Chains A and B, each alone.
Chain A
């Protein structure tokens, strides 16, 4: 299907992989006409590979439409991938490939993988009380005893910084930040191991955003959670992540530890993104390097390296051949033909 070779992931004997995604593809057909004939594909996720270790946060960044949400939804099997593997290590038993499981086979794994959404307004049912919202997953998973459920809901509410006395209230009675806490409480009800958070603080006010980020960090420590944290805000991603993956037009172009990625980016796109972030200090002038042009459509990506039409370092090979995603220094993966020779500017 593609000419991109499989990446070689190194073996880390000490850290445990919780999730390993290999060559994930998700194409959406573009149909036209009376017979709904497929005339092309939106390559929303186009050969993506990464892993998440137990207890860590992997940040997934990239500009609008690059495929972050589609990747997240594939992992939770809200979408069925076109191809690829998604290896998940459950609490007990053998590693399974989430891409291959049936609905039936997925059911016992669902509680272990939960999602936190961007929109704290839209993602909560306005007709359910706090008790029902947080208690529903418990009920569905067999906690029939109401008293037991009430106790567990109270415990989770306290955990996320909400008062158990509010249990009988409806979502509209809460502020944006409180609603996001409710969403987090619901996601945590079943003791998940993997939490996929899709832009969880993007809709929040600046002063409330910090409260939620702190909460997520604290919960991770206390409950040994593993996060896949999706966002477009680089400052937020830097704040919360141990490692970061950068996506561009359906592909991951670079993955590294947070430190390495921000201090010494190896991909010209990553460097351009970092340079574009306005730093909240008037004494530091940012945004001087301009990235020209626009993000191409995933329905019609460019030849060779998808970034070549905008890349200031592109040479002939970039236009014709897709670069291989490879480990250039230990734990630092990049797909750029010139990654070895380029000296790119990071953030000190």
Chain B
């Protein structure tokens, strides 16, 4: 079996703009295939920045990132094929119908017409979007928008799924559905990186955690190790960040 890690980040630094706002400050992280990582940290810790560097939305200031052995800058096209991302902020064409949005993205990944149509149908069913498929994005409620973004991340059946606060502003029903769906994907051997503000969610789903604060990893390890002795994730989190609110 191929043992190239799903994700290999080496000494990543990311600063924004001329003012050189430091968002990621020397992160190294390796995820084996099939891992389910919960990435935790307060607002402004650098979680979204890290994700945007992995998927190619942000430029890397220094350091390197590889997914399945593909450098995200040098072999960006190969790397992108392995990734599916649901960003924290909506970046969908608000004038585009739900079904078209999914269809276009399937096209970007090179799916042929018949395959695209089949895949879009599957996703519309799976995410309860069938009755909304002809609505344009701006007409949808927040929860439905989130569904579209999640469905879009899965169009090409990626090996590595990256979800940036996917359950923010989502109703309980979708949250539960998503949980069982993620567990299913994880059992099927997909690698998953999840950020969330709901600690119980991360505790339930992930098999390892990384805490970041101020652009640095302050602690990381397997669920077993970090929650040894029956500790709750919340306690660990508060200990580490010294903050009483997530």
Instruction: Please indicate whether A and B come from the same complex rather than being unrelated chains.
Output: no
Binding site for A on B (CB under 8 A): none
